[in-house]
Amino acid sequence: MFNGLEVIQKADLKKYCTFKIGGRGTIIFPKNVVELKKLIRECQKLNKNYFILGNGSNLLFPDYDCDLIFVSLKYFNKIKEEKRGKIFVEAGVNLFSLNAYLKKHSLGGLEWSLGIPASVGGAVFMNAGAFKHSISEFIDEVKILKDGKICYLNKKNLNFSYRKSNIDGIILGVTMHFSQKNSIEIQKEQFDFLERRKATQPYDKFSAGSIFKREANIIPAKIIDSLGLKGTKIGDAEISTKHAGFIVNNGNAKAIDVLALIDYIELKAGRKFDLEIIIIK
């Protein structure tokens, strides 16, 4: 099964997500599009479902061994200049590496994203954002694999909204545009945004970012805070004392603890919230 591909059977899924929670599963690491297509064909033959794994920064894996095939695009990690101010970034590049590249090449605009532990593919798919910005502001075109074929989606084919996109396919890379900016100024703004993130979010704890999405005039974190739920624990999962929109893993939390805490929050709030995290089952 999956001959010729880099495979880890019974991988410890805790190591592949920022929550540091999960059982075991199979992870495959295609090195190029040819291998990715082969992997998908094998999954179809075996009637196996697969899931594209980015940096795992908004995932909650189950506590039990998972039957899904997880596909890591970590080898899709190149950045290429197309023309002045425009670059092509492969899906497996993480936002820390992209920010380092932008600073080095004096390209500004994405400073606010430093500290988001996401891959570019994942960030684009969910339209990651912070500080009144979103990554879709900088996207010109998205390269995807769909039904075994490479397709290009330009601006008129793309529809981004809050933590959501209409992209249907596996994101291989994205063409982005940026403005010329002094690298020292970029570095200063990157540092300032990172410090703001550390001051307002539980940056020193394991988490998957915001648990719930904002909706119109509804801000879940404010509701949770107003209910006095900060610091509430189930097992080793806790509603962050720094930011009520985060559930943190204090070291040995289980997925079942996080799910129970989500249920408890919604019970106390008397309503359901839309999840920002993806729960793998």
Sheet with 139-146, strands from edge to edge, namely: 79-83, 86-90, 170-177, 139-146, 149-154
Give the CA distances from residue 213 to residues 69, 129, 222, 246, in Å, rounded to whole numbers and listed in that order.
27, 12, 12, 11
Region 6-72: CATH code: 3.30.43.10
Dist CA 272 CA 260 (whole Å): 14
Angle, helices 95-104 vs 183-200, to 10°: value is: 150
Would you state the pLDDT for residue 203? 93
Q: Pick 205-279's CATH classification: 3.30.390.10, 3.40.50.300, 3.90.78.10, 3.90.650.10.
A: 3.90.78.10
Would you state the pLDDT for residue 216? 80
Query: Is 98 in contact with 79 (CB distance < 8 Å)?
Result: yes
Q: Pick 79-185's CATH classification: 3.30.465.10, 3.10.290.10, 3.40.190.10, 3.30.230.10.
A: 3.30.465.10
Would you state the pLDDT for residue 238? 98
Dist CA 109 CA 265 (whole Å): 36
Instruction: Give the residue extent of every domain in the chain.
Output: 6-72, 79-185, 205-279
| Digitized pLDDT (tens) for each residue of the chain, 281 residues in all | 799 999 999 999 999 999 999 999 999 999 999 999 999 999 999 999 999 999 999 999 999 999 999 999 999 999 999 999 999 999 999 999 999 999 999 999 999 999 999 999 999 999 999 999 999 999 999 999 999 999 999 988 999 998 999 999 999 999 999 999 999 999 999 999 999 999 999 999 999 999 999 988 899 999 999 999 999 999 999 999 999 999 999 999 999 999 999 999 999 999 999 999 999 99
Residue 100 per-residue DSSP state: H
Residue 151: Cβ-neighbour burial (10 angstroms; 0-12, 13-18, 19+)? middle
Dist CA 216 CA 122 (whole Å): 23
Domain 205-279 in the same topology as domain 6-72: no
